[in-house]
Structure 1
Amino acid sequence: MSRSAKRDILLQTAERLFYEHGFRGVGLKQIINEADVATMTLYNHFSSKDNLIEEVLKQREERYWSYLDSYIEMDSDSPFILAVKAHGLFLKEQSYKGCMFLRAIEDYAGTDNEIENIARGHKLKLLQYFQQLAERKGKSNERDLANQLTLLLEGTTSMTTLIGAEQATEYSISMAKTLLIQHTS
């Protein structure tokens, strides 16, 4: 097995375990055992548990943005609705038990670390994304719309744990349509 294949297995295993049991609920020994790699293999790729968490979050964020990028057509009349649908698909397939980024913020808040910075950066990037999209589409009060859509997606993520991704996404699409009517220039 190649070096990069072992790294990928470690990242996949760590992400699954962190998502299922929390960052604090999983030790490196469990990750090593479930990934079926030697201890040195882990340390050849990651300098610490924090470094492994950082890489898991970065990889998850890349995957999130690939969902949005593959779904959204900028020239579409409704890229905002497509973004809500893409977010819902990500929830259904990858994030059915809540937001891993929010968990990272909660677990590592105030400790001046890269984990919290990566997680907060993910949320900020989504807000900026909607603001830029609103500007390109000539929407009024683009900052307000961006905040409202980001809040809508955060609520969709939270509700997924209660009512499932499909129903939460249906509600959020309906709400997004209402928001967009209010923000028509």
Structure 2
Amino acid sequence: MSRSVKKDTLLKVAESLFYEHGFRGVGLKQIINEANVATMTLYNHFSSKENLIEEVLKQREERYWSYLDAHVEMESDSPFILAAEAHGRFLKEESYKGCMFLRAIEDYGEMDNNIEKIARGHKQKLLEYFQQLAHRKGKNNEKDLANQFTLLLEGTTSMTPLIGAEKATEYSIAMARTLVQHTS
């Protein structure tokens, strides 16, 4: 395996284990064993478990935004609905057990670290995304609308482990349509 393949394997295995068992429930030894790499390989790529978690979160965030970018046409009549649909696709395919970023905030909150900053930054970026979208669409209440849509997507994420991604997304899209109709 090449250096970049080993790093990608480590990131993929670590993300899967962290998502299934939590950040604190997984040790580096388990990641090394499941990735089938030498201990030094991990340390050649990541200086610590925290550094590995940071990279996992950054990679996950990139994938999330690629879902939105691939499915949301900013100039469409209803980019807000498309964002709810794209978020639902991400949940179904990648985040069926809840939000990894919220878990990171829970586990690493108030510790003055990059993990929490990355996770909170992801949430802030989502809020700013909807503010910009509302602004582009000429909505007068862009901050309120951004908060409402961010809460809608966060609620969808929270409900996914309880009722499934498809049902949560179905409700989310219905609510998104109501929000859009009331802000026209």
Q: TM exceeds 0.5?
A: yes
1:80: which partner in 2?
80
Kindly state the Cα deviation for residue 140 of structure 1 after the two structures are TM-superposed. 2.4
Deviation string, structure 1 residues 52-89 (Cα, Å, up to 9, x no partner)? 00000000000000000000111100100000000000
Matches within 5 A, 1:74-153: 74-153=74-153
Kindly state the Cα deviation for residue 182 of structure 1 after the two structures are TM-superposed. 1.6
Helix, strand or coil at the partner of 1:54: helix
1:154: which partner in 2?
154
Helix, strand or coil at the partner of 2:47: coil
* RMSD between superposed Cα atoms in Å: 0.4
Distance 1:90 1:13 in 2: 19
1:40: which partner in 2?
40
1:13: which partner in 2?
13
Q: How many residues of Structure 1 are paired with residues of Structure 2 in the alignment? A: 184
| Structure 2: gaps spanning 5 or more residues | none
2:28: which partner in 1?
28
| Structure 1: gaps spanning 5 or more residues | none
Query: What TM-score results when the alignment is normalised by the length of structure 1?
Result: 0.99
Deviation string, structure 1 residues 95-122 (Cα, Å, up to 9, x no partner)? 0000000000000010000000000000
Distance 2:138 2:173 in 1: 20
Distance 1:133 1:155 in 2: 20
Deviation string, structure 1 residues 113-137 (Cα, Å, up to 9, x no partner)? 0000000000000000000000000
Deviation string, structure 1 residues 119-163 (Cα, Å, up to 9, x no partner)? 000000000000000000011200000000000000000100011
1:51: which partner in 2?
51
Kindly state the Cα deviation for residue 175 of structure 1 after the two structures are TM-superposed. 0.4
1:122 maps to amino acid: H
Kindly state the Cα deviation for residue 27 of structure 1 after the two structures are TM-superposed. 0.2
Helix, strand or coil at the partner of 1:96: coil
Distance 2:24 2:162 in 1: 24
- Tell me which stretches of 4 or more aligned residues in structure 1 moved more than 3 Å: none
Q: Aligned residues: percent identity?
A: 80
Helix, strand or coil at the partner of 2:37: coil
Distance 1:103 1:75 in 2: 34
1:23 maps to amino acid: F
Helix, strand or coil at the partner of 1:23: coil
1:159 maps to amino acid: M
